[in-house]
């Protein structure tokens, strides 16, 4: 298939591009490289050294793999995106081209605006480009389980049947986003749903859990094909932070009580889910939702699993609870359904295997690149940045 990948320089975008290219698809990647600039803004960088997109695309070809096409530009730029969609005429569009960090969106007013403009305007441009130039294409959009929040009932896959005053209907599942980032993803979902209804577009929203891992068959072909590993307090995931802390003999810092529960999946399962969605497209006019994760853990359970795996390697990890910078329930019910991708044939990998199978050792091999100052939160959900850099960024006194 002719596939366009938006955000093809990112943590998931680049491995997806290689994965689909190696399986015979004609792949074009699009990126503006804003993600790398945002790293520079907070003084962070990937734990694993990563080459530029141009270098990685060239290396992929040098290794005898099918050519990956590259387009450099911002999808919030309508003229750029329209030209790409018109010229490439994709059969599927895999949309990773969004800012993905809740903490970044909560740093300040400016960061909240950047987040929502980038995500909402970019996705609207994609929808109009599809309507005008690729109406039969299938949009595979990366959403987030964070759209749902933590309701006190089971989370269905996108829709829920409601019975009220003697009548019933199947309606979009209620959303309770926990940050300006998650709010932007809810706006996206509503816009895509509406576009499918009025224009007959086809779309799959993959409400993904937290992804972990850096090893895929393709990234392991050459060190220069590596994808990024974020561990800092803004872009890093909780699992990545725990792995880094264990590797440098730093306490594993659990926010609050540690009962916050989320879905998780291996990066290899993300790639498989994308391909399953691409090869089994939604019908014209259909907006379908898959909950994309394989296991559920609380933050406390996650810390214990990392500590257990690190102990088996001869390390001596300890777990420490610290004040929670976020506004979230620290103890709650959580039961999210996730059967649709399994029904399509997903064969999951599990965290207990991945931690022992190279992830912790890969982190320790790059421990000299860890910036300890990035491991603890520099902001809160209620007050934004609390470090000295906040004064300049927010244009006023540090709060």
Mapped onto helix, strand or coil, the DSSP state of residue 263 is strand
According to the model, what pLDDT value does residue 395 have? Answer: 40
Residue 387 has pLDDT above 70, yes or no: no
Q: Do residues 50 and 302 make contact, with C-beta atoms less than 8 angstroms apart?
A: no
- Answer whether residue 29 is part of any domain: yes
Q: Which residues of 63-99 are buried (b: 16+ CB within 10 A; e: fewer)?
A: eeeeebbbbeebbbeeebbeebbeebebbbbbbbbbb
- Answer whether residue 250 is part of any domain: yes
**Four-point Cα dihedral 177, 255, 332, 340, nearest 10:** 60
Cα(127)–Cα(104) distance, rounded to whole angstroms?
25
- Closest by CA to 348, choosing from 265, 245, 254, is 265
**H/E segment holding residue 344:** helix 340-344
Mean pLDDT of the residues in the chain:
95
| CATH code, domain carrying 108 | 3.40.50.720
Q: Do residues 217 and 267 make contact, with C-beta atoms less than 8 angstroms apart?
A: no
Q: What is the pLDDT of residues 345-362, one digit of tens each?
A: 999 999 998 887 789 999
**Residue tagged active-site, from 150, 185, 294, 340:** 185
Cα(85)–Cα(96) distance, rounded to whole angstroms?
15
According to the model, what pLDDT value does residue 384 have? Answer: 84
Average pLDDT over residues 307-336: 97
According to the model, what pLDDT value does residue 48 have? Answer: 98
Count of domains observed in the chain: 1
- Closest by CA to 157, choosing from 5, 83, 254, 263, is 263
Q: In the beta sheet, which residues pair with residue 160?
A: 171
Please say if 181 is a catalytic residue. Answer: yes
According to the model, what pLDDT value does residue 390 have? Answer: 47
**Residue tagged active-site, from 19, 96, 181, 255:** 181
Residue 392 has pLDDT above 90, yes or no: no
According to the model, what pLDDT value does residue 386 have? Answer: 63
pTM: 0.95
- Answer whether residue 200 is part of any domain: yes
Cα(139)–Cα(24) distance, rounded to whole angstroms?
19
- Answer whether residue 340 is part of any domain: yes
Helix residue ranges per DSSP H, 134-237: 180-199
Q: What is the pLDDT of residues 6-62, one digit of tens each?
A: 999 999 999 999 999 999 999 999 999 999 999 998 899 999 999 999 999 999 999
Q: What is the pLDDT of residues 144-159, one digit of tens each?
A: 999 999 999 999 999 9
Q: Catalogue the long-range contacts made by 335-339 (C-beta closer than 8 Å, 24 or more residues apart).
A: 335/154, 335/155, 336/145, 336/148, 336/154, 336/155, 336/263, 336/291, 336/293, 336/296, 337/154, 337/155, 337/156, 337/157, 337/291, 338/157, 338/263, 338/290, 338/291, 338/292, 338/293, 338/294, 339/157
Cα(392)–Cα(186) distance, rounded to whole angstroms?
31
Please say if 185 is a catalytic residue. Answer: yes
According to the model, what pLDDT value does residue 393 have? Answer: 44
Neighbours of 333 (CB within 10 A): 12
**Residue tagged active-site, from 144, 216, 270, 294:** 144
Average pLDDT over residues 109-137: 98
- Answer whether residue 12 is part of any domain: yes
Residue 244 has pLDDT above 60, yes or no: yes
Q: Give the pLDDT band (50/70/90) at residue 365.
A: very high
For 138, counting Cβ atoms within 10 Å of its Cβ (0-12 exposed, 13-18 middle, 19+ buried), the class is buried
Angstrom CA distances, 110 to 38, 66, 107, 236, 327, stand at 13, 41, 8, 20, 20
- Answer whether residue 399 is part of any domain: no
Cα(224)–Cα(54) distance, rounded to whole angstroms?
11
**Cα within 13 Å of Cα(271), Cβ side:** 25
- Answer whether residue 146 is part of any domain: yes
- Answer whether residue 398 is part of any domain: no
Tokens 């926010």 -> residue: 255
For 389, counting Cβ atoms within 10 Å of its Cβ (0-12 exposed, 13-18 middle, 19+ buried), the class is middle
Q: What is the pLDDT of residues 180-232, one digit of tens each?
A: 999 999 999 999 999 999 999 999 999 999 999 999 999 999 999 999 999 99
Its domain, for residue 377, covers 2-393
């Amino acid at each position: 298939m002719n596939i366009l990948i938006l955000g093809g320089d990112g943590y998931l975008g680049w491995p997806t591009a290689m994965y689909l290219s190696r399986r015979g698809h004609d792949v074009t990647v699009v990126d503006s490289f804003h993600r790398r600039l945002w790293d520079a803004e907070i003084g962070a960088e990937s734990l694993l050294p990563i080459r530029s997109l141009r270098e990685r695309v060239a290396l992929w070809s040098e290794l005898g793999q099918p050519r990956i096409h590259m387009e450099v530009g911002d999808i919030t730029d309508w003229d750029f995106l329209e030209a790409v969609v018109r010229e490439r005429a994709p059969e599927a569009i895999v949309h990773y081209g969004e800012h993905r960090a809740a903490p970044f969106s909560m740093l300040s007013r400016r960061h909240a605006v950047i987040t929502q403009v980038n995500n909402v305007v970019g996705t609207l441009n994609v929808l109009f480009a599809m309507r005008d130039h690729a109406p039969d294409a299938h949009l595979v959009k990366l959403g987030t389980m964070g759209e749902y929040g933590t309701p006190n009932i089971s989370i269905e896959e996108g829709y829920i049947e409601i019975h009220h005053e003697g009548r019933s209907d199947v309606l979009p599942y209620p959303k309770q986003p926990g940050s300006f980032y998650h709010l932007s993803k809810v706006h996206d979902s509503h816009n895509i749903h509406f576009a499918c209804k009025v224009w007959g577009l086809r779309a799959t929203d993959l409400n993904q859990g937290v992804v972990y891992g850096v090893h895929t068959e393709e990234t392991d072909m050459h060190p220069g094909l590596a994808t990024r590993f974020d561990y800092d307090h803004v872009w890093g995931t909780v699992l990545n932070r725990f792995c880094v802390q264990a590797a440098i003999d730093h306490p594993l810092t659990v926010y609050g009580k540690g009962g916050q529960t989320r879905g998780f999946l291996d990066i290899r399962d993300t790639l498989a889910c994308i391909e399953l969605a691409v090869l089994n497209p939604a019908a014209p006019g259909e907006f379908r939702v898959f909950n994309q994760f394989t296991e559920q853990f609380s933050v406390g359970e996650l810390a214990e699993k990392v500590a257990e795996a690190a102990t088996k390697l001869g390390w001596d990890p300890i777990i420490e609870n610290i004040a929670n910078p976020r506004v979230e329930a620290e103890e709650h019910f959580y039961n999210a359904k996730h059967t649709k991708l399994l029904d399509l044939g997903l064969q999951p990998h599990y965290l207990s295997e991945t931690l022992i199978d190279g992830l912790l050792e890969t982190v320790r091999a790059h421990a000299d690149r860890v910036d300890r100052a990035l491991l603890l939160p520099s902001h809160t959900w209620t007050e934004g940045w609390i470090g000295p850099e906040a004064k300049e960024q927010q244009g006023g006194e540090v709060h």
